[in-house]
Chains A and B, each alone.
Chain A
Amino acid sequence: MVRRWGGLALVLVLGLAVGVATGAKQYDPGASDTEIKIGNTNPYSGPASSYGTIGRALAAYFKMVNEKGGIHGRKITFISYDDGYSPPKTVEQVRRLVERDQVLLLFNTLGTPTNTAIWEYVNRRKIPHLFVATGATKWGDPEGHPWTMGWQPNYQSEGRIYAKYILQHLPQARIGILYQNDDYGKDYVKGFKDGLGDKAADLIVLEQSYEVTDPTVESQIINLKNSGANVFFNVTIPKFAAQAIRKAAEIGWQPVHFLNSVSNSIEAVLRPAGLDNARGIISAFYLKDPDDPQWQDDPAVQEWRAWMRRYYPEGNIHDVFNVYAYSVAQTLVHVLERCGDTLTRANVMRQAASIKDLTLPMLLPGITINTSPTDFYPIEQLQLGRFDGTKWVLFGEVLAAR
């Protein structure tokens, strides 16, 4: 009897010793020896539901991770709710994720107005709010909101990159700007003007805005043409981008046309606007487009295709959103792997804010992910591409925003 207890004590002591030696496992709600719970909201219904494929692709990616053994043996439970792109609904769903489902972290919640609605709440509750699916610049605020982090190049960075290009290559530029009169449009214009620096006032000849409720932007395009602008910075969502491209061609305005990446989809924008009308337009990219012939034999793209076929066969193999989801999920897996056995919310943030030169297979060559406790902007590089009438042709080198 005594021996038996002695044996147990020995095991306990040994176990403790091992625990101390390797660092004990530490968990916050949502993490355990077998599971990591991740929460997400996506618009699976409503006007923004074309983004819904991102949520489905994320689920497909985590399914693959789990089939391959999970993260240090822990399976990912990915809980994604529909918020219909409606901020009040996002608040409701995120509270449900945090308070009832008890997720360890929120990941890639989609949309600028929707994330704005939960921004204060998640920071007050100290829930990691990682790699949100929006390009707004405000997500990189480690002092005011240390629990929220973006992922993709933000709108200001992109605006600065176009400005840099114009300063270098188009010294005679007379710039006309069309932008959506809200946070998104103003974010781009601010980055663009910052990039032009003290030349902004000289180079910009006219700024025109539109409201998202306007039927058309034709009147604005006429004014931009008549301002004598020879460079056009087009900050519009797909519907208005297509209108602007078509109207400019119709009235014979042929500026050097910079189109924000929000609307650089060939299928959703350029084809409706007329591929011929879109020839020569310049935009910015950071992901490999699976339809781009130059990546036809790229092993990373082939691997992505194989993953799509196996884990997300109902998804659209031409949709860059599925490349986006694949890459952002890889970034999260990288962070969780670095967390090791310390799956606390604080450690998740610590690891997310110390990524160094991470490359991902579907990022354009030369683009790396870097974060630090004072830098909450993971991707800040882009490459320009020009539309040749059928596809985007990348040119120049990868450009950094700062």
Chain B
Amino acid sequence: METLLQQLASGLASGGIYASLALALVMIYQATDVVNFAQGEMAMFSTYLAWTLLNAGVPYWAAFVATVVLSFVGGLLIERLIIRPVEDAPILSIVIVCIGLLVILNSLAGWIYSYIIKPFPSPFPPRPLRLGSVVFGTHDLGVIGITLLMLLGLYVFFRFTPLGLAMRAAAQNPVSSRLVGIRVGWMLALGWGLAAVLGAVAGMLVAPVVFLEPNMMSGILIYAFASATLGGFTSPVGAVVGGFLVGITENLVGTYVPLIGTELKLTVALVLIIGVLLVRPSGLFGRATVRRV
């Protein structure tokens, strides 16, 4: 029983991490109709920016805000300078550009900061919370809390603000949007900027758990993809629920299904992606997208 509860707690904690990155993936997909494979590396790079600021003696929350702003500008610039020129190219070209971006950011971080792991501070108090025999890390609870807050923010933004609605419109029907006066190009850039912000927050939440290094997001990105696919790429709520489900499933299957054990944990995530795509391609919470061709 104790094992079960502790594994559930730990699964929720990693689920929170997957969910935070999955949110960024969903964000960019909703805003620009692109699946961004470089999302993890962008988040990693933002986290290094935060680390640099912290190392220079900037207080945590100031560094946090500065990183968020810098990441927003960075995301914007990436869209303007790199994605823009291939905007009208086939989807495969955009995917390749994203993968190129992934490799470049990864090597750049390694070149600048080296591959040695670095500790990254958590804004939450270090003392774990004990409920009976089950231990919750305060940072884990913080991750879950902040992820839910981001979700709420996104929900409100996309549903109730004119800017959010304009962004959705621009992604779903660029031609009509342009006709009603929405600057579609800028909406796309804004989408990249906001996704970079979500990624930066995710990175700063992840780094205290997995330690900061250039490859810290590579494993997490796969789980984030599984989460977003499971929940539905069109639904922020789905991405978060998906994240928690993947985190918990992974731990329970690894612990209680001897055949799978810890050796095939990652495989579970991949099977999940394929399974969802086969049975319900739009995910648990997603809408089926209908396109006129």
CB atoms of A223 and B266 under 8 A apart = no
CB atoms of A49 and B263 under 8 A apart = no
User: How close is B182's CB to chain A, nearest CB, in angstroms?
Assistant: 38
| In the bound complex, CA of A273 to CA of B210 (Å) | 10
CB atoms of A214 and B10 under 8 A apart = no
Main secondary structure of the interface of B (DSSP, over half): helix
B271 within 8 A of A: no
- The bracket for how many chain A residues form the interface is 20 to 34
A136 within 8 A of B: no
User: How close is B131's CB to chain A, nearest CB, in angstroms?
Assistant: 13
| In the bound complex, CA of A211 to CA of B6 (Å) | 21
Q: Which residues of B contact A252 (CB under 8 A)?
A: 135
| In the bound complex, CA of A213 to CA of B114 (Å) | 19
Interface residues of B in 1-32 (CB under 8 A from A): 2-3, 6-7, 10-11, 13-14, 17
CB atoms of B265 and A218 under 8 A apart = no
CB atoms of A50 and B115 under 8 A apart = yes
CB atoms of A268 and B116 under 8 A apart = yes
| In the bound complex, CA of A50 to CA of B115 (Å) | 7
CB atoms of A49 and B115 under 8 A apart = yes
Q: Which residues of B contact A46 (CB under 8 A)?
A: 107, 110
Interface residues of A in 318-342 (CB under 8 A from B): none
A294 within 8 A of B: no
| In the bound complex, CA of A267 to CA of B114 (Å) | 13
Find the A residue at minimum CB distance from B13.
Answer: A218
> A178-216 vs B: 1/0 string, CB under 8 Å?
000100000000000000000000000000111101111
Q: Which residues of A contact B218 (CB under 8 A)?
A: 213
Tally B residues with Cβ within 8 Å of A. Answer: 42
CB atoms of A181 and B110 under 8 A apart = no
User: How close is A318's CB to chain B, nearest CB, in angstroms?
Assistant: 13
A213, A226, A271: the one contacting B219 at CB < 8 Å is A213
Q: Given A181-B263, A211-B263, A251-B135, is A239 in contact with B117 using a C-beta cutoff of 8 Å?
A: yes
CB atoms of B114 and A222 under 8 A apart = no
Interface residues of B in 109-146 (CB under 8 A from A): 110-111, 114-119, 128, 135, 137
| In the bound complex, CA of A383 to CA of B111 (Å) | 35
CB atoms of B219 and A208 under 8 A apart = no
Q: Given A47-B110, A251-B6, is A223 in contact with B214 using a C-beta cutoff of 8 Å?
A: no
A210, A222, A250, A272: the one contacting B117 at CB < 8 Å is A272
CB atoms of A219 and B116 under 8 A apart = no
CB atoms of A243 and B210 under 8 A apart = yes
Main secondary structure of the interface of A (DSSP, over half): helix
CB atoms of A215 and B220 under 8 A apart = yes
A242 within 8 A of B: yes
Q: Which residues of B contact A45 (CB under 8 A)?
A: 107, 111
User: How close is A240's CB to chain B, nearest CB, in angstroms?
Assistant: 9
B255 within 8 A of A: yes
CB atoms of B210 and A239 under 8 A apart = yes
Find the A residue at minimum CB distance from B252.
Answer: A219
A378 within 8 A of B: no
Q: Which residues of A contact B116 (CB under 8 A)?
A: 50, 238, 267-268
CB atoms of A242 and B251 under 8 A apart = no
CB atoms of A213 and B266 under 8 A apart = yes
Q: Given A50-B114, A50-B115, A268-B116, is A250 in contact with B128 using a C-beta cutoff of 8 Å?
A: yes
Q: Which residues of B contact A268 (CB under 8 A)?
A: 116-117
A211, A239, A251: the one contacting B265 at CB < 8 Å is A211
| In the bound complex, CA of A223 to CA of B215 (Å) | 26
User: How close is A244's CB to chain B, nearest CB, in angstroms?
Assistant: 12
B137, B211, B215: the one contacting A47 at CB < 8 Å is B215
B115, B219, B251: the one contacting A219 at CB < 8 Å is B251
B177 within 8 A of A: no
A214, A223, A238, A243: the one contacting B255 at CB < 8 Å is A223
User: How close is A167's CB to chain B, nearest CB, in angstroms?
Assistant: 27
B262 within 8 A of A: yes
Q: Which residues of B contact A223 (CB under 8 A)?
A: 3, 7, 255
Q: Which residues of B contact A243 (CB under 8 A)?
A: 209-211
| In the bound complex, CA of A47 to CA of B44 (Å) | 15
| In the bound complex, CA of A252 to CA of B254 (Å) | 22
User: How close is A226's CB to chain B, nearest CB, in angstroms?
Assistant: 4
CB atoms of A242 and B265 under 8 A apart = no
A306 within 8 A of B: no
A48 within 8 A of B: yes
User: How close is B112's CB to chain A, nearest CB, in angstroms?
Assistant: 12
Q: Which residues of A contact B262 (CB under 8 A)?
A: 181, 208-210, 219-220
Q: Which 3 A-B pairs have the closest CB atoms?
A: A272-B119, A215-B219, A226-B3
Sample of 8 A–B contacts (CB below 8 Å): A49-B114, A214-B266, A215-B206, A215-B223, A216-B209, A218-B13, A219-B262, A271-B119
A216-B14, A219-B254 known, 14 other contacts, Cβ within 8 Å = A47-B110, A181-B262, A181-B263, A210-B262, A213-B218, A216-B209, A219-B7, A219-B14, A219-B262, A222-B7, A223-B3, A243-B209, A251-B135, A267-B116
